[in-house]
Chains A and B, each alone.
Chain A
Amino acid sequence: MATSTTAERTLNQLLIKDVPIPIATLDKKLRFLTYSQKWVSMHGLKKGFNGLPFFTVMNNLPKEFLPILENCLQGNSYSSKGKKFLSKNGEYISLKWNINPWTIANGDIGGLIIVLENVTSSKNKEESLKEAQLLSRIGSWEVNLQDFKVSWTKMVNIIHEQPHDYVPQTYEECFNHFKEGKHRDKLYELSNLAITKGIPWDTEVKMITGKGNELWVRTKGQAVFVNGKCVRLFGVCQDVNDRKIAELKYSEQAERTQRATAASNVGIWEFYTKDKFTIWDEMCFKIHHVDPKHTTAYEGWASSIHPEDFSRVLEEAYWLSKGKGNGIIEYRILLTDGSIRHLKAVATFVTNKEKGNNQAIGVITDVTKEKESAKRLREFSEITREQNNSLRNFSHMVSHDLRSHATNLSMVTGFLLDEKDENEKYKLMGMLKEATESLNSTVHNLNEVVQSSSNVYEQLIPIELKSVIETVINNINVLYKEKKARTIINIPPTAKVLAVPAYLDSILLNLFTNSLKYSATDRPPIIEINAIKNEKYLELTFKDNGKGIDLNKFGGKIFGMHKTFHRNKDARGVGLYITKNQLEAMGGNISVESKVDFGSTFKLIFKTP
């Protein structure tokens, strides 16, 4: 029991009451003796609990606190700079305390002096705000528009890379930190609107820091009005440089990607094997000529793909999902107008074993142009190869023929110089003439070959076919009669072809002389000529009943330059080779069907007027 006097107690109470800390004194039985005003406000109590037990008053304190107090009553002091407890009403509270026993005159412990601070709310709120401001690099500022005094937090200076004690001296100076040009102008405009119309702003602009660095900041501001007059501007300033730069970089890249895919006409797609679910981008629909409004991607694919390619593509996709193949699948699509486009897909499979689902992702492009040019290239190289071949044959033939004539000439001339016998001399002179004529004819033929290879398109004129045939028959009258030949011409007199007159003569003459030369020995030659005309071309068939040609043996060579140069008198030079060349030069062609001992049928195609 306390031995202090009432007067003492009253004094104590008065002293303690106004101490600006939460302090209280307890007696030995832990009943309140005195307490400060601060204690009351801090712990949310109502005054007038003198003499009441500590735990009755402080009913929110956890029970762990009792042994602490009891321990101190043994003469110990105990302090904590902050400890977290679960309070009886279930909230965490942080307490900070300092407990000391007090003694009476004989040295016995009379009770406890407790300083107990509840630091729960104050600690958390203040620190997290500080942290948040620091982390988000937000500073706040204020401009008094009456004296144009500016004040702002340290963070603004940190963001501005200015000395910590820097503060702009004038209103203008506030704006100098924003980058000159559109950024600074924007801020002028926004602050003007805030001052005149009270519209707050929130925008992102570039500023130049005290160290000369460019920096993106977010600035927010609003005006305060007193009696309809703007007196103050305040707001925050946040460093958003990293985010903004990343954002700008991303949008630039995204735009570039979009532009690139749009320009390269690449479609991007996804496909799930399990349910055939397909995702197409806009370009995919465009490439497949399918309207996204009317169909899903898979239906669009299935309806546009060429029916002949459908199962093959699914099969290739299956193998691809098993990791086979090079990831490229090509197919054709059939458009409504009947035309065909070639598409090329590059696919990668992503396997999801758990779900038993394979996902394919890839790109697709229209490669029709490439396909077509590749085809043209192949055709072109085929033509080149053919021309190369025939040129090589041609050169061998020229060499062969010129050599043989030249040799003959030189030998015969040699004999002639030495010959004494007049009869023999005469015979040699005849040979000399013959050899000279052969050489002449060879050179003539060479000319024809060279000329027929050059472009004669401009020289094509319409010619009546029937009258030309009749003229040619007249020209070979002697041989024709000798062979007792007959010709049936089933061509209307008005039928015309586009041809070079000299070529047409030469072609027909060649066919006639061939038929007569290689006529059957047991029957007179009968030649039948027919013509079928279609839109652009006239097809002329030239049929004889001669010896025929063994096409199995000569098929490929018959229009080539092999075996075509004969020295015998009636051989028309390089024959069928020239015929073929002349026809092709005029935009036509020639083919042959033949049966040994029955005859040959040549089919000639001419352009028509």
Chain B
Amino acid sequence: MAKTNSVCIIDDDSIFVYIAERLMKESNFCEKIIVFENGKQGIEGLIEIDKSKKEMPSIIFLDLSMPIMSGWEFLDSFANTPISNKEDLKIIVMSSSINPNEIEMIKALPMVTAYIVKPITPSDLEKIITM
């Protein structure tokens, strides 16, 4: 039995996505993983899922640095998008950035559950599930 049903990864780094998927599968973290390449795809995809009444992912892993629509823009746009039960969604921001200003800014956002410095590790996943 997986720990959670469906998660979503929004990241343009295909290698990181592969690594994350593999970790999640090995640790039986979830049943299903949806991947979007950038913020724009992410927003559009989530609206689509909501509209078609499919199962909403319970956790979103969000990268910050992406072309077309960055993680920041995604967060902005997500806050203004009508998606049912948004509050139940956990958003985990991931980045390779160790810029203290950036980390502060992210932690200040109420809709962000946690910030993870890449790479993601099995113990990160353990923590996230208990959040």
Contacts and interface: CB of A to CB of B under 8 A. Distances in A.
Interface of A: 396, 399-401, 403-404, 407-408, 410-412, 415, 427, 431, 434-435, 517, 563, 565-568, 571
B109 interface: no
A404 B12 contact: no
B14 A434 contact: yes
30 contacts: A396-B97, A396-B99, A399-B98, A400-B96, A400-B97, A400-B99, A401-B96, A403-B96, A403-B98, A404-B13, A404-B16, A407-B96, A408-B15, A408-B16, A408-B19, A410-B119, A412-B15, A415-B22, A431-B15, A431-B18, A435-B15, A563-B65, A566-B12, A566-B66, A567-B12, A567-B13, A567-B65, A568-B12, A568-B67, A571-B67
Contacts of A565: 65
The 8 closest A-B pairs by CB, nearest first: A404-B96, A407-B119, A403-B96, A396-B99, A408-B15, A566-B67, A400-B97, A400-B96
Contacts of B66: 566
A408 B13 contact: yes
B91 to A, nearest CB: 19
A571 B99 CA distance: 22
A401 B13 CA distance: 11
B95 to A, nearest CB: 7
Given A401-B96, A403-B96, A403-B118, A431 B14 contact: yes
Contacts of A435: 15
Interface string B78-92: 000000000000000
Contacts of B118: 403-404, 407
Nearest to A550: B73
B110 to A, nearest CB: 21
Interface of B: 12-16, 18-19, 22, 65-67, 70, 95-99, 102, 118-119
A400 B65 CA distance: 10
Given A411-B19, A415-B19, A568-B12, 12 more contacts: A396-B99, A399-B99, A400-B95, A400-B98, A407-B96, A408-B13, A427-B18, A517-B67, A563-B65, A563-B70, A567-B65, A568-B67
A410 B121 CA distance: 13
Contacts of A517: 67
Contacts of A567: 12-13, 65
Contacts of A396: 97-99, 102
Nearest to B16: A408
Contacts of A403: 96, 98, 118
A563 B99 CA distance: 13
Contacts of A571: 67
Contacts of B96: 399-401, 403-404, 407
A401 B65 CA distance: 10
Q: Which residue among B15, B70, B97, B98 has the maximum number of chain A CB atoms within 10 Å of its CB?
A: B15
Contacts of A415: 19, 22
A434 B15 contact: yes
Nearest to B119: A407
Contacts of B70: 563
A566 B65 CA distance: 7
B74 to A, nearest CB: 13
Contacts of A566: 12, 65-67
A403 B119 CA distance: 9
Contacts of A427: 18
A400 B63 CA distance: 12
Contacts of A431: 14-15, 18
A407 B63 CA distance: 15
Q: Which residue among B18, B65, B70, B97 has the maximum number of chain A CB atoms within 10 Å of its CB?
A: B65
A385 B67 CA distance: 28
A427 B15 CA distance: 10
A400 B66 CA distance: 13
A399 B95 CA distance: 11
Nearest to A563: B70
A407 B15 CA distance: 10
A99 to B, nearest CB: 119
A427 B18 CA distance: 10
Nearest to A410: B119
A410 B97 CA distance: 18
Q: Which residue among A410, A412, A434, A568 has the maximum number of chain B CB atoms within 10 Å of its CB?
A: A568
Contacts of B15: 408, 411-412, 431, 434-435
A435 B16 CA distance: 10
B85 to A, nearest CB: 29
Contacts of B13: 404, 408, 567
Nearest to B19: A411
A403 B98 CA distance: 9
Nearest to A427: B18
Contacts of B95: 400
B65 A411 contact: no
Nearest to A434: B15
